[in-house]
Structures are given as structure tokens and as C-alpha cells.
Structure 1
Amino acid sequence: MTVKLSILPVYSEVHPDSKHQIGSVRLLKHQVETLAAFNDPNIDVIFNVAMTGDGKSLAAYLPAFQKQKNIIAMYPTNELVQDQHRALPRYEQDLQIRLPRYGTMYSDKITQLMRENDNKARLEEARKLLERNGILLTNPDLIHLMMSHQYGWDHQRKELPVTIGAYFDYFLFDEFHIFGVPQVISVMNMLGYLNVNYHDKPADRKKFVFLSATPSKLMNDLLESGGLRYKKIEGNYLSTEQQGYRCILQPCELELHEVSQEAPTEMWVLEHLQDILSFFKQHPQSKAAILVYSVATARRLYACLKEYFKPHNITVGENTGLTHPDERRASFEKHVLVGTSTVDIGVDFRINYLIFEAYNAGSFLQRFGRLGRHTGYSIYHAHALLPRFVLERLILKLGTLGEIERKTFNEAIREAFPVEAEFKSYTQLWGVVQAAQVLAELQSQSKKDANEAFTGALSSQYDLFYGAQTQPVMTKALKKYWAIRNKQPEILAELSSFRGLSPLSCGVWDTDNHLQTYDLFFLLTNTEFEVLSAAEFMQEVKRQGLEERDYKDQLLYLKIIKYVPERQQLILGLPFAVADYAARLHTVQVLDNFFVREPSFTGRDQVNRVLKTKSLTCILSDMGRKELKQRLNLPTMFPIQRLQDKTGAEYAVAFGQEALLLDSLLFWRKTKGDQAMFL
């Protein structure tokens, strides 16, 4: 089943007043509106939801460029941090402005500065970056640690939040739509902290700018409950050329194809290699991208395409979480890039031919939005690979329309994909404990300074966010926090991190001789490897001149022999009958003694000896993986593993932050006697 559509170009409205210009660049309407919202004392939070390619980044930087406001700009990947940092000189040149000192801040950068300055204190190097840069690009993980008093030791933890508030006027969160409920809660805690700290200093109140798709209902509700005022800003678009409008997206030919488990994306691409080659022969200057979800699929496709296209002088690059950073950067210069989600939220690059799979509306729009952003090609062509039911819904919605406006098409995509679980109960079950962690850190410092008043005010702010007017929640949340901290600190560690921990992270010596870290479960299902000693691995780290700190304390150290052609089945085990402990179902807990039942491989005993010692935050269910995902509308890529207990009985298990999210959906399924019942 295939549908062919012609997606019309997109023109964005330029602001009608010619005075809104920087250098030779006339500002778009939504960019001017973003700056006006920033200048409005009655607005705290700004959501710019303009289309991909419509200059949202410039809109967000306007207060820094025109008003000399200091900004912390947060990006979801360090690669994007570096890319945006490289773009700043271009702003200076194009806009004919002079920027203040600007820089980047992330773990490797701090380590590098420590080495250069012979300084053993990470906090000191971080503080210098905060104090010396008017524009500082970083990631939200690091700012979360600082603002929640988790960066540094003892009394030092309170210093960086003060520094951040004193030196910066506003905060930018880019690509925020990719984050889930736990990250929304972490950011709301940060907003609440800064709102309380500057509540009585209106001239110094902080502003927050989010660049994303439509903000989640959860965030809107929390902002309204907490008394923070927000404004959503959209672009104004046409599909035909008209005076006062600027073209931001080129017209595209789009083909929608069906894929399934029996005929997956990888098979489709391999069956259409000749078509891809024909496109390059007809359009010799073309650049292409093939975007999939699985790192293993991307690696296999990369190897196959590289070999297939080599005689035709068509170069192929790989861009995945396992690709070395140097090769990821080089992949953007190849004729064909094969990548995963690292490209979805990665740097901007030029293509006119795109093949991609999509399991949800957000991913579809993100990937399809990569095409048509750059001029210079005679044709822009895309192939989208979708489940049959999504394709059928699109046909019902769009009929056999030949031409369609991008905005109409985007709306159809949002309606065609199923609505995924929103984890609404997470806020009350676990989000309040994330907030309680900040309060507990402040309370522990109250003995050393006089911040009781601030702690009380912040607790009241969090009550507004997460409770009801007549029902404060933070007192109870603090009790829960201390109970978890005393009895199950592993759960608290998951709650306190921005994106969750990686307790099963392994040191990996890859087939291309590069060293990195990656998740054990992926390696078990997609590679053959040998287990190394920590000493052997660290010797290679030293030989390659890498930072030892980045590879310490990994679960295992593995040398990959090869990537397997087909994904292997993973089944975990527990050495007891889960049915004998029925109360352990559908509740978050910390368990050890997990081991690998399947696949069978050389070195499995070595892996299991280590894995059994690891205490892991998890949740068990007597529903199968497929049933869980269908009943609860879980995202397709939500990580749930198969598990068999001592008796061979089948269960599903999720770990880490996903266990906490799943818990928020399973509260209605309680256990009575030896039977689970639905309430």
C-alpha cells in the first residue's frame, strides 16, 4: 500500500513594520512577537511553536542580541550544544552585531578545563563558566543538578543556584517536546525555585523560553496552578508566494509506504537500493538521509549501503549513539547519512532525499521536518514508512489529494497516530518526591545558614504546582522522600537524575577500535562480545589518551567481536517464584539477582555473576510485554523486557525511570491473594 502526496511549500509572514530588522535581516512576525513577550512584565514563560526551519532559535536569542540580556541556552545533546555554539559567529556576521563573551558547558568541557588549569575542583571550573559568559550553551541535565543542589559537596551545593540567578536573565530550553513527564517536573521545580527567589525583585525576575512543538497539557496546567503566566507564539503561514512572506520550506514529493514486523524498514530499504541509486543518477548533487530507530538496524544498513554504493562513488556515513563523535560529524558531509534519533535532535544539515520510519506523530513531524529547509536542489523527495493502520487513517483523512498544505498535513499526522500514554498520575506519585528532594537539600543546609524562609516559600510554590488549594502535598511528599532515602536509595537516585540513571552501562571496545559506553541489554541482543577485565579496558583507555573518568565504574567491560545480522531474543530470570511474592507485582521496588536466561553466549556466566549483584529499581507485571503496551498505550520504543522466574512463569519487567512511569499507570491493578485483579 502506497500513497503519493505533493506537500506544498511554506511561507512565513515577515513583520510588516520595517523597523524590525537586525543588520540586513528583516525579522519574521513570530520573532518580533517573541521579543515583545519577553519585554512584557506580565509574562514569565514563552512557548515558541513556529514550524521547523522558521527561525525559532533567532527568536529566542533576540533578547541577548538586542537587549544584552544574559542567557543560559539548554539543548538535549552536547553535539547540538557544540553545533549551536559554532552558529553564533554566523549570527554576528549576518546580523552585523557584536556578541558578549559566549561559551559552552558540559561534562567533557569541564574535565578539559580542569586538566588545562590543573584544578581538581569541578565546581570551580563550572562556576567560572557561569560567571564569564553572557551566552552560555549547555544541557538541561547539568543545570538540573545545579539548581536542585546536587552539584558539588556539602555546603558548596547551594552556591551554583545563587550564581545562576545572579548572572543570567533568562533560560532557553530547545527541542523540549522530546522530553517526558519526569523532565517536565524537573524543569517546573527549577522555574519554581527561581520564581520564588526573585518574587520580590520584579526588575530581576527570570524569563523562560521553550522552543518546541505544542506544549503538553501537563506543563500548561502546572504553570497555571503555580501562578506563572505564559504565552504561546505561532508562525503565520501561506502555501503560495506572496509579498510580505518568506519561503521557509520547499515543496516536497512524499510517498507513504506500509511496513510491518514481517516486512520491516530494513527490508524495504534493501529492496529499494536500485531506486535510491537511480535518484542519485538523475540528480547527481543530491544528499540523502535514512532515519531509523534501532542502532543495530542503522549499523547493518550502513554496512550494506556503503558496500553497494562504493562502485558508484556515492559515500555513506553513520550517525548513531554508537558512532564515534568524529565520524558523526563527518556523516553530514557524505552523500547518504544513515542515522537514528541522534539525527532527529541533532545538527541542521542539507538533504533533498529522505527515507524514514515513524512510530508516533512527534517523531514523524521531527524527521519529515528535516526535508526542504535548504534551497539549491531541483527536487525534494521523501519516503515515509508507517504501520498499516496509520496509513489507512491518513487515506481516510486525506483521500486522494494530490497537493496538500504542510499545516493541514501535519494536523492529519497528529490525528492518524494513536495517542500515547501521558502518565498523568506520575506527578502525584513520584513528581512530588522530585520536588521534595530540592526541599530536603535546602533543609539540610538550614543548620548552616538562614534560608528557612526561602525553603518555606518554595514549599508553598510546589504546593501550588502539585497540590490543591485546600490540600498541600509537600509535607507528605517530604515524608515519602525520607522513607525512600532511608530504605530504597536506588529509587531516589533515579528520581534525582534528569533522564534517569544508566546502571547497566558497560565500557565498550567497538569493532572500529573506538571506546565508548553503552547499555548491556542492547549489547546482549545485537552483538557478540568477549568480557574484558577492568584493567585490560583501562589500559586501552590510557593508550588512546582518553579520559579515564569517563570509563570508570561501568557494570562490565566488553570487546565487540561483531554485530549479529538479526536481533537476538532477551529473556531475564529471577531465582525465585514471583507468584510466592504476589505483593511485588505492579509496584516499584529494588531487586537484585537478575540474570540472563537468553540468549546463550560465551561469557554468559561472567555477565550473570556481575548482573546478579546489581540492585535495580524495577517493576514487575504478570501481563506480557505486548499486552502491557497495548492496554496502556505505551510508546512503541518503551523498554520492557521479558522475564521468567524460577518456575518458568512469564512476566514483564521495566527498569529505572521507566519503572516509575509504568507504576503511574498500574496503580489500578492491585493484588489480592495470589491473583491480580482490575479495579
Structure 2
Amino acid sequence: MTTLDLTGVALRTHDDSYPFDVSPFAHQREMQQLFENEERFVAVNDSPTGGGKTSAWLAPVLDNRMDAIAVYPTNALVADQQEAIQRRVDQYIDHDVAVLKATAATLAERSDDFGSISHGAVLDDWLRQEGRYSDQRILLTNPDIFVMMRRGLYRKGSREYKDFDVAVVDEFHRAGRKEQNTLRFLLDEMQSEDESVVALRKVAFLSATPDQRQRRLFEDAIEAPYYRVTEHETEERKAYTDSSGEDWFGVMPPVELDVRPAQTFSTADRLFEDSDETLEFCRGGRTVVMLDGIHEVGQVYAWLDDEMNGNVERIDGFYDENKAEKLDRFDVLISNSAVEVGIDFDVDRILFAGHNRESFLQRLGRLRSASDLKEARCYVPSTVAGTLSEQAERTVTRRELDEILDEAYPDPRQPDTFDARYSAAEAFEHLDDRLRNAPPDDHQEIKQSTLDRIKRHFGVGSGTDFSLRDMEAFTDALDWRVLTSLQWYRGDNIQALVYDRTTDRVTTYDLFYLLRYGDIEFVDQATFKKHVPSEQHTEIDRKERYVDGFCVYDGTIDTNDDGFGRSVYFTGPVLNAWIDDTSNTGRKPQLQSGLQIGVDPNGTGSRVPSVTKVNERLRERGERSDGDETGLLCYAVNGAPSRVKRQYNLDDFFFLYPIRVQNKELHSLAIGTDALYLHCHVLEQEQRLTGTDDESFLDGL
């Protein structure tokens, strides 16, 4: 165990006029000047957590009555920000502002109002109506809906978004490589359109400090001038231990940080081992516990709920109902990444697992906006704990901590050629779609500008340039169904629609978690409706076409002595033939039909014979799709998951599933975007091992 004394962070305030009647920080003044003086820009705001990044764009947008689209990574954050922005509007603004929350659920609710079953048409009608009755519109949505709007993926397209002046992307650094590429490319394209077609000219990314690759893309790939609004803020930020001082505002408090070792997904075990200390810590004030796995969350919640006298609450992807009430009343909150970003709550102390540098800093940053000393406890990999122990004899600033963690945490290998292989392919397919829907007179201009953009965004790899010819040749060799799947923001996944009898609610969740840990039974859709109260049937009708099973859930099973649930794997003759027919480099990601899932008990006797219902549903995937594509996007490689992760230096959150053939698990399957990342890793390693040069970019096709 090591105890670190961390300084707080204070930002200088300035006695300037500001729309929210506060003394602004330098980055807020800089952003305000950009909005008022620059016709076209891309800005990155990487000010510290709690430093007012939302106010930095919201104040000038409201002051200048600009229509804005704000994109948030989760629906929970969309809802939280709608409430926060509405409070600002009610407090400071004297004109009519429509603050709209657009998620799949809200669009479904609005469908009756506008007489349309297409979410795209509902959104268009809603925005048009608010444009007539309000002076200004602020649309809050998630990246999936934004990409569907821009790419016309709804059954009836949406165009009202083209009239918005501003786009803001929050927590941009939390998105994966594919998702970042998609958003950056589309926003650059929209900014470059004729203003009579698309009004967007001002774009802001709220993010962590850009790394070298991100800086290059912001500076060189995007056409609009790039500004980092904190670039000259050295004198505007200071460390403090006792008081932030006059004309300074503390955005992060000083922290006494207790550092302990634990493996990823094993923090719960350490909490149980340190049970007396854990309970004492949680009884010391309003506490948030942030863990890695949802099963860990469940275990710790059940234990603390039994041991503590106060209100112990749980929030995660499976238990996300009544979030506002839980955040208001908790004494101890158990969660995972569901409360890691954005959502505001008051907390005295935190206990968290830090599986990587970004998560460590994000979770520590939940202690904010107070100058008095706070307490925190973190569980990190043993190598990181060892590095931090070297700092125990001195006070560490937050900047120093950032640098120490950057050195301490290993960097998982990035798929360097992903941009030129798959993001370029995504852009070529997007170009084809645009040309099909554009007047012939516009084809040449659209094609040339898009090809230039593809080259700027995706033609620069790790130490080399890839030509448009290389990128187009790779695209031409891909299955058209893979190209179609790339048009969506997120990769493929497998989810079930769940009726949780313990809470009497319907939700969707990851199928593999349910198969590993759930006390469950899978049924057909008709039987599922008989279990669910009639008032929740509309939720079933809205989601049934997107899920691969219908599940009745009665809690979790007992794990075995090692803490494991059931064994879940892929199997079936389709995978057997695919593996036998090709090598890792000869195989390509593809949409595979006819996959089967198998489940073995974990030693407690818990089985899932109803998994046959899931496999029936998987075979019917194509019948639920609007297009001709069918199956699951996946990529198979030789080697068990643990070996494959070591071989390609993949992190603990890169999910691989075992493939069982003839009762042996000698192969692994990646699904969705992970399948594409893994394919790049395989080809890149083959090139390194064989000593081939960059011209081998097209190998493996």
C-alpha cells in the first residue's frame, strides 16, 4: 500500500463580462472569442475535469442564438446534460430555446405525435416544428443518431440537421479509433459543404489532451482552421494544497490517494480481502465505488447492501433505472463506467479500479469543485502500483501524475493500418452512397473533394503514406456486406431483450454476460410477452428486431470457487469449415451466418438448455434486417483467447470468444469492430515477421 499526496487544480478567473454572469476562465474567454470572431473553425477544449468545458461552448451559442447539435457518448449523459443546459437557459436566457433530447426512446415516443414510424422522419418533423415556435434549437443526441442522420440510414432521411450552425462532440477521446475516424471525417465533410446546403461552420471537441496522431489529424486532415483553446494556458492553471487563493477557482481538490495492487476484473476480490478497511472507508462519507466488470459491481453491491446501514445504490448498464433518484439519495454508490464521465453528483470520497491511464484519471476526476482535502483509494496493476510507490515521499501535482501514469501503464498495440484499410473503405462506400443520391452535375465535385478528404484523413499510416490506389484496392476486395456494416457508428454486437423479474422491467443487455452469470431462461417472442406486463409491450415492439434473444432473468447464479460463471463459446459446422479452410492471414472479416453458441456449467450445476432459442434467433438475423445483409461480422484466428491477447498485445477489454471444435478450444472469434482491429493486427504482425515492406499493405486480400 502506498499513500500519495496529490495537489488540487485551480484555474484563474477573469473579471470580464460573460453571458452566465460568472468570472470566466481563460479557455472560456478563448472559446467565446472564436465563436464571435471566426467564421469557421475546429476547436479542441482539453481543460481539466470540472473546469467548465460545457459552459465554454454553451455560453456563446446561447448568446449568439446559434442552433447547435451536441453529441454525447451515452444516452444517460444526453439526459443529464439536457437537465443541466435547461437550468442554464431558465436562469440566464430571455429568448425561447428548445433543448431537445433525441435518443431512440424519445423518437419512438414522438412517433405518435408526428404520424411516422421512421425515426428520421420523426426527428425532421420535430426539429421543423421547434424551429417555428422557438428562437433557437439545441439538439442533444448520441453518435449513432448523428451518423444515421448524416448518412441517410433511416428509412426516411433527415435533412433539418443541415440548418444547424454548431456541432459539439463531448468526451471525444473515449471513442474508439473507428468511431473517432467516422465523426471527424463526417464533420469535416459537413463544414466543407456549400453553406446553402449545410450551415455547419463551427465545431468543438471536448476531449483529453490530443496526442501526436490526434494533433496531426486536427491540424492537417480537417480543412477548417484548428485551435486548441488551452494552448497558451500555462499561467492560467496552478497546483494548490491548502487554498486556491483569490482570483482562482479550485476545480479539483487536493487528494490523499491510497494506492493498492489488483488485477483487472479482480478488484472485488481485494475489497473482500480488505473487508474491514473497505467498510471503514465507505462509512467515512458519501462514497462512490467504481469497478471494471458488471459482475464485480453485482458482487460488491450485494455485500455492501447487506453490511451498510445507509442507502447503498447500484448504477450500471444493466441497472440504470431511476438514475437521478439514486444519485440524489445514495450514501454508497456502486458502479462501473456508467458514472465515469459527465454525470454530476456530489461525493466525499471514491474507491476505484484503474485499469488504464485514461480510466484512472477520469475516475479520480469525479472528486471535483472543492478546496478541502479529499480521500480516494485506487486499485491498479502491480507494475503501476510499484511505480507510484516511488512517489510516496513527496507531494505530486496533477500534471506530474499524468506524466507518471503515462510511463507506468503499458500501451496496448494500436492497429496502425486500420485507418487506411477500414476507415478509408468506410469513406469510399459513403462516397458511393452520396453519388447515388446526388444530381449528376454535382458528381465530379463531390467525388474529387471526397477523394482529397480520404487521402488527408486516412492516407498517412505509421511511418508511411498509403496511396488512394492502395486504399481503393483494399476496399474493392471487401465483401459488400462488410462495407455496408461499416456505415454505422458502432460495430456489431449480440444483445438479448431481458425481462428482469427482480425489478419488473424490460431492458436490453449483453448476451454473453447473461449466459455466464444469469439465472435465466430464453423463450420465443410470444412467450416472452406473456411474462411481461402489458404496459411494457410497447418496449418489446420497439426493440425486438434488434436483439438475438428473449430472456427472463431472476438474478445471478452462484459462481464456482474461482469466481467464474458458466463457460460460453462459439461452435458449429460453419466455424469448423471456416477455420479448416484458411489461415489467419488468408481469412478475412466477414458476416457469417449459422453461428451457434454453446454453454457449459461452471461446477455449480447451473445450465442453460434454452440457449437453443438464441441459436434459432441467430439463424434468423437476416429476416430482421432492412437490407440483404445477414449474419454477424466476425473474424476467427488460431489460438485460445488468452494466447491471442498475448500474441498481439491486446488489452483486457478487447473481447475475444473461444471457438470450440471437437470439444477443444484452440481458436478465437472477434466480433464487430474488434474483428476489423484484429485483422489489422494479424496482417501487421505477419509483415513484421516476414520482413516485408510497406508495399505489402494489400497482403491478406
The normalised TM-score by structure 1 is: 0.88
TM-superposed CA distance for 1:563, in Å, is 0.7
Partner of 2:539: 547
* 2:138 aligns with one of 132, 135, 147: 135
TM-superposed CA distance for 1:143, in Å, is 1.0
Q: How does 1:19-98 map to 2 (within 5 A)?
A: 19-41=16-38, 44-92=41-89, 95=92, 98=95
Partner of 2:188: 192
CA distance 1:82–1:327, change in 2 (3 Å):
closer
Q: Secondary structure at the match of 1:431?
A: helix
Cα distance in 1 between the residues matched to 2:20 and 2:421: 51
CA distance 1:27–1:164, change in 2 (3 Å):
same
- Contact kept in structure 1, 2:584 and 2:682, CA below 8 Å: no
- Contact kept in structure 2, 1:196 and 1:454, CA below 8 Å: no
TM-superposed CA distance for 1:180, in Å, is 1.1
* 2:268 aligns with one of 266, 269, 273: 266
CA distance 1:438–1:473, change in 2 (3 Å):
farther
Alignment pair present for 1:368 and 2:364: yes
TM-superposed CA distance for 1:11, in Å, is 1.0
- Contact kept in structure 1, 2:497 and 2:506, CA below 8 Å: yes
Partner of 2:699: none
TM-superposed CA distance for 1:472, in Å, is 8.5
Cα distance in 2 between the residues matched to 1:528 and 1:205: 50
- Contact kept in structure 1, 2:114 and 2:125, CA below 8 Å: no
**Which digits, 9 at most, give the CA deviation of each residue in 1:339-397, with x for residues without a partner?**
1111112511111111110111001111110013357xx6521110011011112234x
Partner of 1:394: 388
Letter in 1 for 2:401: F
- Contact kept in structure 1, 2:548 and 2:614, CA below 8 Å: no
Cα distance in 2 between the residues matched to 1:264 and 1:237: 37
* 2:248 aligns with one of 242, 245, 248: 245
TM-superposed CA distance for 1:252, in Å, is 1.4
Q: Secondary structure at the match of 1:436?
A: helix
Partner of 1:594: 595
Cα distance in 1 between the residues matched to 2:430 and 2:341: 29
Cα distance in 1 between the residues matched to 2:591 and 2:113: 41
TM-superposed CA distance for 1:137, in Å, is 1.2
Q: How does 1:434-513 map to 2 (within 5 A)?
A: 434-446=426-438, 450=442, 452-467=444-459, 484=478, 487-489=479-481, 491-502=482-493, 504-510=494-500, 511-513=502-504
Q: Secondary structure at the match of 1:652?
A: strand
Alignment pair present for 1:666 and 2:682: yes
- Contact kept in structure 2, 1:198 and 1:206, CA below 8 Å: no
Q: How does 1:189-268 map to 2 (within 5 A)?
A: 189-198=185-194, 206-223=201-218, 224-234=220-230, 236-240=236-240, 241-260=244-263, 264-268=266-270
Cα distance in 1 between the residues matched to 2:682 and 2:597: 26
Partner of 2:286: 287
CA distance 1:537–1:481, change in 2 (3 Å):
farther
**Mean alpha-carbon deviation: is it higher for 580-589 or for 614-623?**
580-589
Q: Secondary structure at the match of 1:69?
A: coil
Q: How does 1:574-653 map to 2 (within 5 A)?
A: 574-575=572-573, 576=576, 580-583=580-583, 587-600=588-601, 601=607, 602-611=609-618, 615-646=631-662, 648=664, 650-653=666-669
**Which digits, 9 at most, give the CA deviation of each residue in 1:402-443, with x for residues without a partner?**
422222222212221111233221111100111122211111
**Which digits, 9 at most, give the CA deviation of each residue in 1:97-146, with x for residues without a partner?**
65633222221111111123444443332113434252111112111111
TM-superposed CA distance for 1:582, in Å, is 2.7
**Which digits, 9 at most, give the CA deviation of each residue in 1:282-323, with x for residues without a partner?**
x5xx211111111121122112211111xx2x1111101011
Q: Secondary structure at the match of 1:570?
A: strand
Cα distance in 1 between the residues matched to 2:495 and 2:441: 39
* 1:413 aligns with one of 397, 402, 405: 405
The normalised TM-score by structure 2 is: 0.85
Partner of 1:275: 277
CA RMSD of aligned residues (A): 3.0
TM-superposed CA distance for 1:527, in Å, is 1.3
TM-superposed CA distance for 1:450, in Å, is 4.8
CA distance 1:329–1:475, change in 2 (3 Å):
farther
Cα distance in 1 between the residues matched to 2:267 and 2:615: 33
Q: How does 1:285-364 map to 2 (within 5 A)?
A: 286-309=285-308, 312=309, 314-327=310-323, 329-364=325-360
CA distance 1:513–1:230, change in 2 (3 Å):
same
Cα distance in 2 between the residues matched to 1:121 and 1:267: 47
* 2:151 aligns with one of 148, 152, 165: 148
Partner of 1:560: 553
TM-superposed CA distance for 1:584, in Å, is 5.4
Cα distance in 2 between the residues matched to 1:279 and 1:394: 21
TM-superposed CA distance for 1:678, in Å, is 8.5
Cα distance in 2 between the residues matched to 1:513 and 1:242: 51
TM-superposed CA distance for 1:204, in Å, is 5.6
Cα distance in 1 between the residues matched to 2:152 and 2:116: 22
Alignment pair present for 1:657 and 2:648: no
- Contact kept in structure 1, 2:292 and 2:355, CA below 8 Å: no
CA distance 1:652–1:328, change in 2 (3 Å):
farther
CA distance 1:39–1:447, change in 2 (3 Å):
closer
Letter in 2 for 1:590: L
Cα distance in 1 between the residues matched to 2:583 and 2:396: 54
- Contact kept in structure 2, 1:508 and 1:516, CA below 8 Å: yes
**Mean alpha-carbon deviation: is it higher for 213-222 or for 138-147?**
213-222
Cα distance in 2 between the residues matched to 1:597 and 1:96: 58
**Mean alpha-carbon deviation: is it higher for 28-37 or for 591-600?**
591-600
Letter in 1 for 2:595: F
Partner of 2:173: 177
Aligned residues: 649
- Contact kept in structure 2, 1:507 and 1:557, CA below 8 Å: yes
Letter in 2 for 1:384: C
- Contact kept in structure 1, 2:19 and 2:59, CA below 8 Å: no
Cα distance in 2 between the residues matched to 1:130 and 1:279: 49
Partner of 2:7: 8
CA distance 1:447–1:248, change in 2 (3 Å):
closer
Letter in 2 for 1:587: K
CA distance 1:523–1:23, change in 2 (3 Å):
closer
Letter in 1 for 2:536: Q
CA distance 1:460–1:581, change in 2 (3 Å):
same
CA distance 1:362–1:406, change in 2 (3 Å):
same
Q: Secondary structure at the match of 1:239?
A: strand
CA distance 1:112–1:418, change in 2 (3 Å):
same
CA distance 1:256–1:649, change in 2 (3 Å):
closer
Q: Secondary structure at the match of 1:145?
A: helix
- Contact kept in structure 1, 2:529 and 2:537, CA below 8 Å: no
Cα distance in 2 between the residues matched to 1:225 and 1:138: 25
Identity of aligned residues (%): 21
Give ranges in structure 2 of 5+ residues lacking alignment: 602-606, 622-630, 693-701
Give ranges in structure 1 of 5+ residues lacking alignment: none
TM-superposed CA distance for 1:75, in Å, is 0.8
- Contact kept in structure 1, 2:521 and 2:552, CA below 8 Å: yes
- Contact kept in structure 2, 1:358 and 1:386, CA below 8 Å: yes
TM-superposed CA distance for 1:3, in Å, is 0.6
- Contact kept in structure 2, 1:25 and 1:94, CA below 8 Å: no
**Mean alpha-carbon deviation: is it higher for 469-478 or for 569-578?**
469-478
TM-superposed CA distance for 1:205, in Å, is 5.8
CA distance 1:670–1:4, change in 2 (3 Å):
closer
Q: Secondary structure at the match of 2:414?
A: coil
Letter in 2 for 1:644: R
**Mean alpha-carbon deviation: is it higher for 64-73 or for 568-577?**
568-577
